[in-house]
Amino acid sequence: MKLEHGHIYIKDIVLGDKTQVEGGVLTVDAQALIAHLKEDNKVKNVKVDLARPGEEIRIIPVKDVIEPRVKVIGEGNGFPGVTSKIAQMGEGKVHILSGVAIVTIGDIVGFQEGVIDMWGEGAKWTPFSKTLNIVVDIEPVEGLDPHVHERTVRFAGLRAAEFIGFAGKDVEPDEVLVYEIGTQVEETAKYPDLPRVAYVEMLISQGLLHDGYIYGVNSQQILPTLLHPNEELDNAVISGNCVAACDKITTYQHQNNAVILDLYKEHGKTINFIGVILTPELTTLEGKFRTCDYTAKLCVNLGADAVIISEEGYGNPDSDLVMICKRCEQKGIKTVLITDECSGWDGMSQPLTDMAEEAVAVISTGNVSHVVELTAAKKVLGVAEAIYTLAGGWEGCIAEDGSMKCELNAVIGSTSEIGYHNCTVELY
């Protein structure tokens, strides 16, 4: 498969009467965007705001972050199986409005949404303080079932990303990056002496609004699935969960999966990158044995010499992480684990809920319980008091002057386990 990412580097965003890109500036017609989103009769009201790096703006409660892009050559557009018909993704050419993000906020359904500060201490912990953010506040109609409410807000964010992304369709990209890997037979013939490395990406799949989606299919409903890495880089995998904001893999992070991008850089040089295995994280013991056994079997059948395994969430999924590790290592496949830690405010608690002696190579993406102090914002997009009910916040954590304390749990992307964040520690 060959996929081209045409990056159109955006320097600024403004509101205007037409959605277009000129001279590196993205103009957004907010009224047209609102009208587009309100075509869904489950959407009652929409507000659109902008937030730029360095502005003293707090965005809360954040549900998802999405990168606007458009397919200009090849099959499929948008988010197949969700906002558009099913298509085989991973080939063709995509134009990307690089540096821009759609940030969705709105009424809380699940308690595990998050906060983005565009300046100060908070900005240090989230990668989305560096993006030019189009903040879309969605108010669904009253009386919706929680799952329908959640789906309505998420679909609105995806549709907003499609609407904005279309502005780049006829714009000449500033840079084109090519991602191309042939069949395993072809790549092994080209690189017979390089170690064969697979990437196992664990996805929250626990129900109760804790699910990822692959081509529109809830990951609860799948066995571990082999994907070409280009498919994830081409909108085939999206966020659909309300897990803790710190390690929630947003749709933007799936679109720009840092593990995949780093493995691509080494493909044909130091490794032979043989594919991505998406593995659901289930809650039952039977489910865990099934998916972990199946994942290890896929790694063996692919002929993997080594596997990188990334987690989504913490606590319950820690067991899946070390179970896959143990099975692969016992089959002679070297493993590297990427996980965050829940180590308490003082960092002294047991970091993972499970462990295995085979887990000898672990990369920590940070302590979710670390407490940060955030100064008062000049402007809040959303509702500041939402922090009281977010994972990582608590009643009274906002001071009279508007400053707040919270755990990294509440900061979007602060301990992302696919590496798209600002803090890492290596453990040996």
Strand 210-214 and strand 225-227: the pairing is unpaired
User: For residues 228 and 221, what is the distance between their CA atoms, to the nearest angstrom?
Assistant: 20
Contact between 390 and 61 under an 8 Å Cβ cutoff? The reply is yes
Q: Which two three-digit tokens encode residue 174?
A: 């500033």
406 is catalytic: no
Catalytic residue among 242, 328, 342, 397: 242
Return the amino acid letter for 147. H
Ramachandran area for residue 23 (φ above 0: left; ψ -120 to 50: alpha; else beta): left
Known catalytic residues? Answer: 242
